[in-house]
Amino acid sequence: MTQTPLLIGFVIMSLASLAIYAKGAHRGPLRGHTLIHAAVPFIAATAYLAMYLGVGNLIKPDDSITYVARYFDWLLTTPLLLAGVVSSAYLGARERDGQAGFVASIVTLDVMMIVTGLVASLALYGTIKWVFFAWSCVAFVGVLYLIWKPLAALSDASPAIGAAYRKNSGFLTVLWLIYPVVFAVGPEGIWAISDAATLWIILVLDVLAKVVYAFTSERNLRAALVHSGA
Ligand code: RET
């Protein structure tokens, strides 16, 4: 059944949102982390519900499907995740200089990545599709540059926070890099793998990038804060 991973996604994300909120820090420097990471699966649950019920599942003339709800999910959740990355980089720093600018610029690049990815998915002709795919990848490179250069340098103000930041960013980067690959080989790209296989793969990626990442990143940051005496 094509619908099964969508229903599973709805159930897992709903429960994960509650679990992350219940288990997360409610005071101190990681309070914001808890709020961000509880919101992310709540948004994903909404998208999985819409996809399961067939709302916004566009069937294109070549019979491939664009799940519009998924792009809405990414449009909200990826900026939240990146806002979390930026604030974690600042955990060891003594002042907030430039923080708003980093959030604004990384979120803008990320929104450009998702919107041009949606255009690539909707484009009917190969050339236009791959031009927008490539442009989306350019924005993605910008996001990765900010994470790994200026923000990583900022996080080093405290060595323990810097190490936790790099661990979290490494996990995030590896997972996020798989999304464009799945797009390229799935029905929105060269269609080497089926729609059903793509749904299952993205379900696994979503659980790792939204739920597992919430718990592991909090654990790493909490340990680093204890270690640095903050
Ligand atoms: C698209 C296709 C066009 C090229 C690129 C893409 C990147 C998508 C990414 C999505 C990440 C989603 C996450 C969701 C979970 O919260 C739009 C697939 C570069 C990186 C992490």
pLDDT at 2 over 80: no
pLDDT at 221: 97
Q: What value does the mean pLDDT take over residues 133-140?
A: 98
| 31 Cα–ligand 1 center, Å | 27
Q: How far is the CA of 26 from the centre of ligand 1 (A)?
A: 30
Q: 206 CB less than 6 Å from ligand 1? A: yes
Write 179-188 long-range contacts (CB < 8 A, 24+). Answer: 179/205, 180/117, 180/133, 180/136, 180/137, 180/140, 183/117, 183/120, 183/121, 183/133, 184/133, 187/64, 187/65, 188/64, 188/66, 188/120, 188/121
**pLDDT value, residue 229:** 67
The verdict on the CB of residue 74 being under 6 Å from ligand 1 is yes
Nearest CA to ligand 1 atom 3: 117
Write out the two tokens for 201: 């793969």
140 lines ligand 1 (CB under 6 A): yes
Distance CA 27, CA 140 (A): 33
Whether pLDDT at 192 is above 90: yes
pLDDT band (50, 70, 90) for residue 169: very high
pTM above 0.85, yes or no: yes
Q: Quick check: CB of 136 below 6 Å from ligand 1?
A: yes
Mean pLDDT, rounded, of the chain: 96
Position of tokens 């005496």? Answer: 229
**pLDDT surpasses 80 at 4:** yes
User: Given pLDDT bands bounded at 50, 70 and 90, which one contains residue 137?
Assistant: very high
Q: List, for residues 40-97, the tens digit of each pLDDT value.
A: 999 999 999 999 999 999 999 999 999 999 999 999 999 999 999 999 999 988 888 9
pLDDT tens per residue across span 6-34: 999 999 999 999 999 999 999 999 999 99
Cβ contact 82:102 at 8 Å: no
Name the residue type at position 219: R
pLDDT tier at 126 (50, 70, 90 boundaries)?
A: confident
pLDDT value of position 105: 98
Instruction: Report in angstroms the alpha-carbon separations of 198 from 47, 144, 219.
Output: 16, 24, 30
Give the single-character DSSP code of 212. I
Contact in structure between 184 and 177 (CB atoms under 8 Å):
no
Provide the pLDDT for residue 1: 57
DSSP annotation string for 37-65 = HHHHHHHHHHHHHHHHTTTTEEEPTTS-E
Pocket flag, ligand 1, residue 66 (CB < 6 Å)? no
Nearest CA to ligand 1 atom 14: 74
